[in-house]
Amino acid sequence: MRREIFAGSAVAVLMMTTAACGSSDNYGGKAPAVQPVGDSKQVGSGYGDPYGSGSGAAPAGAADKSGPAGELKVSEIQGLGSGVTDSAGITLYRFDKDTPKPPKSNCEGDCAAAWPAVAANDASVSAGIDAALLGSVERSDGTKQLTLAGWPVYRYAKDVKAGDALGEGVGGTWHVLGPGGKPAGAGKGAGAGAEKEQKEEKPAAEAKGGELTAVQNPELGTLVEDAEGKTLYRFDKDSAWPMKIGCVDACTDTWKPAKPVDKNKVSGIAPELIGKVKRPDGTEQLTIDCWPVYSFTGDKEPGDTTGHNNKGLWFAITDKGKKAKVVG
């Protein structure tokens, strides 16, 4: 094996002349300067992924999740308290990237395959839910989606039986719907402040698992966020193969190299695309389809994409490792 390192004040180039990035090779002895990690094992997706990026079959009970809710009920959700379920006891959800005033759904395409919109017709409420909070919003395909307190209502494809709440906290943006429209459990605190607190706590808990999530951005397409909801980016002065890292020294004060994650704890991204690379300073950095990825310090809120097309060099990365499209 031959290793060459070309170092400059702005660019450090690391090359490895063996198998292509993402292969299942195990490197014995001393690790090379660039150590991509991945394997060729195909993992089923589709309904098994929170954003339905593949073609896997839906689990039993996952079909027809976009039908009417019937009578909404208040049910006890383990660890959260009171949450809203449909007439069959299936848990209902809200998406932090939607808006209640005016009601608007930002879950389309692949996102909607994994988070089916609940139809607005034939909805009623039982004790504990104010009927005046019920409403509807027209989706881009012309169908009417149920809303509660203005928030569009969804089911989750991986919930297959009454009481399941597997969608809680996915990507730090999906939450079990509470009876008043807030995330379940938020009502125990001081209104909006408690809701904000819950949003801050969820990503921190998920960060321990190193989860990455594919999210649907209405303008840019399917992007990748880290466990804190931060958009991830790739840099045109990097390259995927041969491995090249162009953001070093002061650059990393603004663009933070993303830490490696467990490829088995990603949502909506093919696990075989997840890898890591050793940087010039010896630390390891997450890669997606061999591209080193970063977060941007200019993004202040989960889901921000202010780093996209920065100086024509930085771009939000898609679930396939590509550059997100430039709008406008």
Can you tell me the distance from the alpha carbon of 165 to that of 220, in angstroms, rounded to the nearest whole number?
A: 29
Q: What are phi and psi of 222, to 5 degrees?
A: -85, 115
Tokens of 55: 């073609």
Query: Residues of 120-152 as b/e, b for ≥16 C-beta within 10 angstroms?
Result: beebebeeebeeebbbbbebeeeeebbbbbbbb
Beta bridge partners of 95: 174
Q: How far apart are CA 126 and CA 129, in angstroms?
A: 6
Sheet with strand 212-217: strands edge to edge? 221-225, 212-217, 266-267
Q: Across the strands, what pairs with 239?
A: 244
Q: Could you say which DSSP state residue 36 is in? A: -
From first to last of the 328 residues of the chain, give the pLDDT tens digit: 443 333 333 344 443 333 346 433 322 233 333 333 333 333 223 333 333 333 333 333 334 677 889 999 999 988 888 999 999 999 999 999 999 999 999 999 889 999 999 999 989 999 999 999 999 999 999 999 999 999 999 999 999 899 899 999 898 899 999 999 999 876 333 333 334 434 443 333 333 334 798 888 888 989 999 988 899 999 999 998 888 899 999 999 999 999 999 888 888 899 999 999 999 999 999 999 999 999 999 998 888 999 999 999 999 999 999 999 998 7
Per-residue pLDDT at 64: 61
What is d(CA 288, CA 273) in angstroms, rounded to the nearest whole number?
Answer: 5
Scanning the structure block, which residue is given the tokens 């809203």? 84
Residue ranges of alpha helices (H) inside the chain are 110-114, 192-207, 251-254
pLDDT at 171: 86
With a CB cutoff of 8 Å and minimum separation 6, the contacts of 24 are 38, 39, 40, 41
Instruction: Identify which of 105, 84, 91 has the alpha carbon closest to the alpha carbon of residue 150.
Output: 105
Enter the pTM of the model. Answer: 0.44
**Cα distance between residue 182 and residue 268, in whole Å:** 26
